Amino acid sequence: MRFLAENGLMKSFLITSFVFSLLTSPSWGNENEVIYECDYRTGIGFYRVEKINKKPLISIRKNLDWVRWCSEEYETLKMYDEGGICHIKTHKIDENTWIYDQTVTLDLLTRTVVNVNNLGKKSTYRCSIFK
């Protein structure tokens, strides 16, 4: 009987510890990188989330390279425990293409990328962990 009681207590402790760790640790809580694959309906995008010196770093895949997300001179990044918000100011891409004020939110908890443009149009894209 004592073995069963101890075994039951051990199982309860392990389950409680596991659930607690899931609820309290952010997605980038460890030093390993996690790559998210996001379906933009017109293409696929990749985000790499990692920690460098205990600070979160988000990169995107661009022209076969990883570049820091939201690091252009016309972009402002706010980092949070479970993602980041990138505000993109109006700027010219080329002779025919302009980007007007928009906000892009990468939410690692819900695994989504939400884009809101200057007119309030909101687009939500689903992401999954890339294997």
> What pLDDT score was predicted for residue 43?
93
pLDDT digit string, tens, across residues 43-86: 999 999 998 887 889 999 999 999 999 999 999 999 987 899 99
Residue with the bigger pLDDT between 118 and 85: it is 85
Q: What local confidence, expressed as pLDDT, does residue 54 receive?
A: 77
pLDDT for 11 equals 58
- pLDDT the model gives residue 32: 83
Tell me the C-alpha distance between 97 and 114, whole Å: 21
H or E stretch at 3: helix 2-24
Strand ranges (E), 9-74? 34-39, 44-52, 55-62, 65-68
- What size, in residues, is the chain? 131
Output the pLDDT for position 94.
86
Mean pLDDT of the chain: 82
| Cβ contact 76:94 at 8 Å | no
Confidence of residue 7 (pLDDT cuts 50, 70, 90): low
pLDDT number for residue 100: 87
* Sequential DSSP letters for 82-96: TEEEEEE--EEEETT
- pLDDT tens by residue, 19-39: 444 444 444 445 689 999 999
CA distance 13 to 51: 29
pLDDT for residue 12: 57
Which of 113, 110, 115, 54 has its CA nearest to residue 82? Answer: 110
Please enumerate in sequence order all residues whose Cβ is within 8 A of that of 118, keeping only pairs 6 or more positions apart, or say none.
Answer: 90, 100, 101, 102
